[in-house]
Amino acid sequence: MARFAQKGLTLEVPTLDEGDFSRLTLSAQLALVERLAAGEPVNLLGSSMGGYLAALYAARHPEVARVVLLAPAFRMAERWEARVGPAAMADWRASGEIQVFHYGEQRERPLWPRLIDDAHQYEGYPEVRQPTLIFHGQHDDIVPVADSLHFAESRPWVRLEVLDSDHELGNVLEFMGEQTLAFLGVE
Express each pLDDT in 78-112 by its tens digit. Answer: 999 999 999 999 999 999 999 988 877 889 999 99
Q: How far is CA 15 from the centre of its chain?
A: 13
pLDDT-based confidence at 11, cuts 50/70/90?
confident
pLDDT-based confidence at 1, cuts 50/70/90?
low
Please state the pTM of the whole predicted model. Answer: 0.93
Name every residue whose Cβ is closer than 8 Å to that of residue 58 and which is 6 or more positions away in sequence: 44, 64, 67, 126, 128, 129, 130, 132
pLDDT-based confidence at 51, cuts 50/70/90?
very high
In this structure, how many other beta carbons lie within 10 angstroms of the beta carbon of residue 15? 10
Express each pLDDT in 111-145 by its tens digit. Answer: 999 999 999 999 999 999 999 999 999 999 999 99
Residue type present at position 126: P
Query: Read out DSSP for 94-138?
Result: HHS-EEEEETTTTEEEEE-THHHHHHTTS-SS----S-EEEEEET
Lateral strand order in the sheet of 64-70: 42-47, 64-70, 132-137, 158-163
* 29 and 19 Cβ atoms separated by less than 8 Å: no
Q: Which CATH superfamily is domain 2-183 in?
A: Alpha/Beta hydrolase fold, catalytic domain (3.40.50.1820)
Burial 46-81 (b: 16+ CB within 10 A, else e): bbbbbbbbbbbbbbebeebebbbbbbbbbbbbebbb
Q: At what angle do helices 86-95 and 76-84 cross, to 10 degrees?
A: 100
Decide if pLDDT at 187 tops 80.
no
Q: How far apart are CA 76 and CA 124, in angstroms?
A: 7
The residues spanned by each domain of the chain are: 2-183
pLDDT-based confidence at 76, cuts 50/70/90?
very high
* 112 and 97 Cβ atoms separated by less than 8 Å: yes
